[in-house]
Structure 1
């Protein structure tokens, strides 16, 4: 999947995303599981919104993303905020050579962009290899309910002066997957609108499937919660959070 061009409208699309809730989730789990050190690996870091926030709070942050364009935007943000990020372009399922970390995150449903169970399991293995003993692995996924009942056959749109978009979601080819067709109209410096088309696929799995893969690889799944709360998921939960420890 290419993010060329998309990186520069991504933050507009994500402007209402509650990044502070992910930050609070990480703070709470770090304290609860007594993680003393601050070396964080932010996988699927995108344009660096969470990476920059973590760095500003005193974390030593390494960000990884598949998109060079996304990483360029992340670096620009880091420079503007006068923080340091170590940024690498890698596929999270092929992660290598980055050392070990106290906390590894895959937030904002980034794991749902992996196309198959093979890539998900490979990613869990790579995370395990890069995590210190007793370290935390934190990630979230779309629930089956959200994919099947909220996204499917829905259209979203927004019209503003700088950027407008139409976002339509369709059933994907694989089980429990959804295709997102996005068309952006971006106002360029000449006052004309340029069209940008994107097609993204996300796929999710039952909670017990994720847990089985994690335990098979060597993680202890400490908590499975929903929607930025400490409550267990229910049948209408939309975002599932996993808190795992490398035993």
Structure 2
């Protein structure tokens, strides 16, 4: 599921998102386990480029990939304004096909949860393994099963801003541990003084930690660490966001691209 018109208001609504925490978690993983002579980074689910630009500022050579052309349009404009040469590609991460390999791949902001089938997740892990150099890292976060069940399903959220407002209702999805987000946006038209409404539906699905672990191992990764809520400490029953650090073994020959 890709973002549509919402892409152009995404940054305004996500001003308080903990982007610096995502960056610091990834940098911590890189310092602990990464290839110090390879600072190439693949940002899957790059969205409007918020993290891509931050990683580039940290000295990484960044490539961004997202399914939404609208999100990528915003990302390209922001990178250009920042004077950064960041290539962005419009692709489904489960069908990833790029010409090079990278020292690290990040899938942040629960982007992996937009894949609604086991096959899509496992194919993504396989594709990422193909696009990492031996010793390269995969770092990603997903919603916990607890977060989907207790934090989203049958909950409503709202924002009553002067220029942007929304009503956001979440319902149980078709598959286990899935959620359907129905969001109505109200955007102020400055010329007429009236609010323009548009609606979007977003689907997310997560899986147990044990499933992600097994799929990573099946794709050839070493699972180095599993943390929660931007911490390297092991997840608890009420953790909301699960973090994985995995590595393509140094002695594993890469698949052909």
**TM-score normalised to structure 2 length:** 0.94
- Does the C-alpha gap of structure 1 residues 33 and 6 become closer, same or farther in structure 2, counting only changes over 3 Å? same
For residue 248 of structure 2, what is the aligned residue in structure 1? 246
- Does the C-alpha gap of structure 1 residues 103 and 183 become closer, same or farther in structure 2, counting only changes over 3 Å? same
- Give deviations 1:203-237, integer Å, cap 9, x for gaps: 00000000001101100000000001121000000
Identify which range, 14-23 or 232-241, moves more after superposition.
Answer: 14-23
Q: Secondary structure at the match of 2:239?
A: coil
Q: Report the alpha carbon displacement of residue 2 of structure 1 after superposing the two structures with TM.
A: 4.1
Give the whole-Å Cα distance in 2 for the aligned partners of 1:57 and 1:245. 21
- Give deviations 1:21-48, integer Å, cap 9, x for gaps: 0110111111111421110000000000
How many pairs does the alignment contain? 247
- Give deviations 1:149-195, integer Å, cap 9, x for gaps: 11110011111111001111000011110000111101123132111
Give the whole-Å Cα distance in 2 for the aligned partners of 1:169 and 1:97. 35
- Does the C-alpha gap of structure 1 residues 90 and 27 become closer, same or farther in structure 2, counting only changes over 3 Å? same
For residue 13 of structure 2, what is the aligned residue in structure 1? 13
Instruction: Verify: 1:28 aligned to 2:22, yes or no.
Output: no
Ranges in structure 1 where 5+ consecutive residues have no aligned partner:
none
- Give deviations 1:107-131, integer Å, cap 9, x for gaps: 0000000010010000000000000
Ranges in structure 2 where 5+ consecutive residues have no aligned partner:
250-257
**TM-score normalised to structure 1 length:** 0.98
Q: How does 1:81-100 map to 2 (within 5 A)?
A: 81-100=82-101
